[in-house]
Amino acid sequence: MDTPVPSRRNFLQATAGGLFVSASLTSPDTKASDANPGIRMANPLSGDVLRTEAELSPDAQVLKEQPREIPVAGKSEVLVCGGGPAGVAAALAAARAGATVQLIEVAGCLGGVWTAGLLTKILDAENKSGIMAELLQRFAEHGSAVANQTNGTVYDPEVAKFVLEDVCVQAGVKIRLHTRLVGAVTDSNRRVVAVLTESKSGREAWLADRFIDCSGDGDLAAHAGCRFDLGFGEDCECQPMSMLALLTGIDPDAVRPYIRETAPAAKRLLLDLMEEHGLSPSYRAPTLRHLHSDIFSIMTNHEYGVSAFDANAISESTIRARREVHDLVNGLRRIGGPWKDIAVVATAEQIGVREGRRIRGRYQITANDIATGLKHEQSVCTAKFPIDVHALNAHGNKEIDGAFRKGGHQPYDIPYPALIAKDVDGLLLAGRCISGDFIAHSSYRVTGNAVAMGEAAGRAATVSIQQQVMPQELRWDKIKG
């Protein structure tokens, strides 16, 4: 396989702030300290850290950090950023096609919204084969009777954590948890050659031949300098975030009319029940789902106007949302009857983020593609899920719904070029950060599609290395296997 890594002492462009850094890169799988004894490395076993040297500006507004050498922590053929539904599939497909794969995930588990987000329901998966079908089978096999009856589409998040780690380990994917990507480096040809991360091990660099952005929010692509779109209109209004939770203490038979999977009017009934008792959930279609025995999941919260890129706003909304979930559950308990013992088992560690950056790719999926049922020669999968724009604010968004819903919705293809970053080389995209407009994103974002996209991106990354071409030089219909 070709080695795109620039020669030692090469000038690389780091896009954060247009900074130019001089990088001395090491050979594959060689620790920087072995290659260059002059570089000071922290010893993680002793709890040692590399101290930051910096100077505070006279007005105390800016801290100027001194340049420092960053150890190269690893070199792989394919590096996947983000271990959610798309990222796990990308890593698995790349590894199974024969590449060495490094997966980098900021949470303490794989699965993204499936696990850290406590989602519990996989949409648009029934018509998918490959890795999606395999995972559904594993979720059903290892899961409860409900997981079994729903062919794994209603799954237990704890089972998903274990299954995803297991399949990745079996495939030889190197998994780094608790590690956030914070930068990407391109060479003079605008090819991505390295990423930077922060973790308890400090700041580290990772080299790879191909990169796949599965961060949901498009972090890798943005750091690499790719253009992107965000939200709706000039204000970049995004769909609300939601805090999901697991509940216990209710008998499924006693609350059957309120359970989403078995009662068509369940959401309406649950909202009516809450309102009759003075409870007013911020999500007006509260969704109760039965997972197994007396374990349920609930979605009953909307956080409006929160940017996925404002850590203060996310922190505040997380605290507000968690409080709302607890308040609503306490309120339900006060109703008594079948609700008298209801309790929260867990709220999600990560508030559910519906929208982040939509990275510009070599094809942009549009609302019109959905209305007309796009058929594309390089289709990586067919999406069937309808347009689903949750209210952008507490007043709803009749305007958006009216304008686009009347256009109709038909099954449409997700074209391979929508998974290839337009502005740089060597970077693929999968999951909700692929190239599409606001309305199209509201449909293709669900996880059945994210997995299929990840599988395609992972396979294409490996094949492009084997064929010594860039991903955009491949045709998906020729390589899909």
Ligand X SMILES: Cc1cc2nc3c(=O)[nH]c(=O)nc-3n(C[C@H](O)[C@H](O)[C@H](O)COP(=O)(O)OP(=O)(O)OC[C@H]3O[C@@H](n4cnc5c(N)ncnc54)[C@H](O)[C@@H]3O)c2cc1C
Q: Please name the residues in contact with 17: beta carbons below 8 A apart, sequence gap of 6 or more.
A: none
Q: Tell me the three state secondary structure of residue 332.
A: helix
Cβ–Cβ under 8 Å, residues 95 and 65: no
CB of 106 to ligand X, least distance (A): 4
**Other CB atoms within 10 Å distance of the CB of residue 312:** 9
CB of 175 to ligand X, least distance (A): 12
CB of 126 to ligand X, least distance (A): 11
Closer residue to ligand X, CB minimum distance, 191 or 432: 432
Q: Would you say the C-alpha torsion 462, 466, 470, 475 has a positive or negative sign?
A: negative
CA distance 265 to 286: 11
Per residue in 379-404, is it b (16+ CB within 10 Å) or e — as a string? Answer: bbbbbbbebbbbbbeeeebeebeeeb
CA distance 450 to 214: 9
Closer residue to ligand X, CB minimum distance, 242 or 317: 242
CB of 58 to ligand X, least distance (A): 33
CB of 191 to ligand X, least distance (A): 20
CB of 208 to ligand X, least distance (A): 14
Read off φ and ψ for residue 290, nearest 5 degrees: -90, 125
Closer residue to ligand X, CB minimum distance, 113 or 224: 113
CB of 210 to ligand X, least distance (A): 17
Cβ–Cβ under 8 Å, residues 460 and 428: yes
Closer residue to ligand X, CB minimum distance, 87 or 249: 87
Closer residue to ligand X, CB minimum distance, 60 or 311: 311
**Other CB atoms within 10 Å distance of the CB of residue 56:** 10
* HSE, side-chain direction, 13 A CA sphere, residue 52: 8
Closer residue to ligand X, CB minimum distance, 144 or 242: 242
Read off φ and ψ for residue 85, nearest 5 degrees: -50, -45
Sole residue written with tokens 């890169």: 25
In the complex, the residues that contact ligand X under the rule CB under 6 A are 81-87, 104-107, 112-113, 119, 121-123, 180-181, 214-217, 219, 242, 244, 352-354, 431-432, 445-448, 450
Comparing C-alpha atoms, which of 392, 382, 155 is closest to residue 261?
155
CA distance 100 to 462: 9
CB of 128 to ligand X, least distance (A): 11
CB of 183 to ligand X, least distance (A): 10
Closer residue to ligand X, CB minimum distance, 339 or 453: 453
Closer residue to ligand X, CB minimum distance, 113 or 328: 113
What is the C-alpha end-to-end distance of the chain, expressed in Å? 19
CB of 219 to ligand X, least distance (A): 4
* HSE, side-chain direction, 13 A CA sphere, residue 291: 25
Residue 213, judged by CB atoms within 10 A of its CB (0-12, 13-18, 19+), counts as buried
Closer residue to ligand X, CB minimum distance, 180 or 333: 180
